[in-house]
Amino acid sequence: MEKLIGILKGIRPDVDFETATDLVDSGIIDSFDIVTLVVEMNEAFEIEIGVEDIIPEHFNSVAAMMALVDRLSE
Amino acid sequence: MEKITDLSHLSSLMAPYLKKKHITNNFTLPAQYQSSIQQDALYYDCNETSLCLYVDKGEYYRFFYHLYTLDTPMVMETDKPLVAEVAFKGGDYPLNAVLDYFTKLGFQDVTRRCRMEMPAGVQLEPIPCCYEIDYAGKHHVFEVLKVLSLSFDKITGFLPSLQELGEAIEEKHVLCAFDNHEIVGLIHYGYKNTISTICHVAVQEKARNQKVAQSLLAQWRIKTRPENRGFIWVALNNQKARHIYEKVGFQYDGWQAATLLFHE
């Protein structure tokens, strides 16, 4: 999780990602941030996030992102 | 150029490019892809080093690229003009190299725009002007398009199609300033998730310098979601518009975009 928070802080240093639960729905991160994040996560966790997985539900919180990482790592 | 018929096909094409160090102008999310696929409007071509996506907008294609390298020129074959936006933030993006690459392929660098953000939580009070502000109705669709056409280039101004405009009006995403029944100004906006982005602001010549734009912007903010951020893209050299946007609370957020045009 620390690795993911490090990536997120690199993209949006102004956001407290550890507590936020509606990052996309509330507009804290936008499509530029999400696509940048996907590229970083693919590299850092050696996974392949497909286009169909780039949906708000998977990026609304650190927990949701980690769940996506875990699923794609299986 | 071949048609993309479902999201899984697109996903398999894009998978090799969702990696670091590749060069793209594509920040599209699945909902937008789905909409293009449903309209039979999404096409692609690819080779070993590049994937290009084309969204058919009627008179032109919106053009998105994914490149591994700027050393291998693409072969551009198209039956309509191509419009690409190269969006970037900060100084580490190789903008000049990208622009050089596309210029050598025959693209023209036609406009530079910057993104301005209305921070989350900024609430606006109505700003009075001497015209009535209200949503456009279905019967206004041609008049709205005419007002937009007077202010924006039909290709590089990213004008909506009649169908898109009809949908925007139905969803109450077009606010107008009315002089009796004539539209003298309008604001056209959309949403990405819950973030509202203004697509076009247009004020007819005779209604300028009467706070019409400010009044429309205030109504946009009131009617959308002031607890969230909002965005507008504006021509970098349009100081007058930028000043108006700053006055109502927008701030330049560091994102810029170059608009590139290709036609054979």
> Do B27 and A48 make contact, defined as CB atoms within 8 angstroms?
no
User: Which pLDDT score is estimated for B82?
Assistant: 95
CB contact under 8 A, B18 and A32: no
d(CA B223, CA B215): 12
CA dist B224 and B16 (Å) reads: 37
- What per-residue confidence (pLDDT) applies to A70? 94
| pLDDT tens profile B146-202 | 999 999 998 889 898 888 999 999 999 999 999 999 999 999 999 877 788 999 999
Per-residue pLDDT of chain B (264 residues; tens, 9 = 90+): 999 999 999 999 998 888 877 888 998 888 889 989 999 999 999 988 899 999 998 889 999 999 988 888 888 889 999 999 998 876 666 788 899 999 999 999 999 999 999 998 899 999 999 999 999 999 999 999 999 999 999 888 989 888 899 999 999 999 999 999 999 999 999 987 778 899 999 999 999 999 999 999 999 999 998 888 899 999 999 999 999 999 999 999 888 999 999 987
Q: Do B120 and A27 touch (CB under 8 A)?
A: yes
Asked if the ipTM is above 0.90, the reply is no
Interface with B, mutate which of A30, A33, A37 (most B CBs under 10 A): A30
Q: What is the nearest CA distance from B86 to chain A, expressed in angstroms?
A: 12
Q: Choose the closest CB to A39 out of B18, B120, B225.
A: B18
Provide the shortest C-alpha distance from residue A29 to chain B (in Å). 9
A14 touches chain B (CB under 8 A): no
Mutate one of A29, A31, A53 to test the B interface: name it (highest B CB count within 10 A).
Answer: A31
Q: Does A70 touch chain B (CB under 8 A)?
A: no
- Shortest alpha-carbon distance between residue A35 and chain B (Å): 6
| Tens place of pLDDT per residue across chain A (74 aa) | 889 999 998 888 888 888 888 888 777 888 888 888 999 999 999 999 988 999 888 999 999 999 999 999 98
For residue A58, CA distances in Å to A12, A49, A61, B27, B191 come to 17, 10, 8, 16, 19
Q: Measure A70 CA to nearest chain B CA, in Å.
A: 18
Say how far apart CA B136 and CA B141 lie, in whole Å. Answer: 8
In this prediction, residue B115 carries a pLDDT of: 94
The Cα A65–Cα A11 span in angstroms is 15
CB atoms within 10 A of CB B85: 19
| B225 chain-A contacts, CB cut-off 8 A | 27
If residue B163 lies in a helix (H) or strand (E), which one and from where to where?
helix B162-170
CB within 8 Å: A55 and B8: no
Distance from CA of A8 to the nearest CA of B (A): 15
Nearest residue of chain A to residue B7 (CA atoms): A52
Residue of A nearest to B118 (CA): A27
Alpha-carbon distance B208 to B202, whole Å? 10
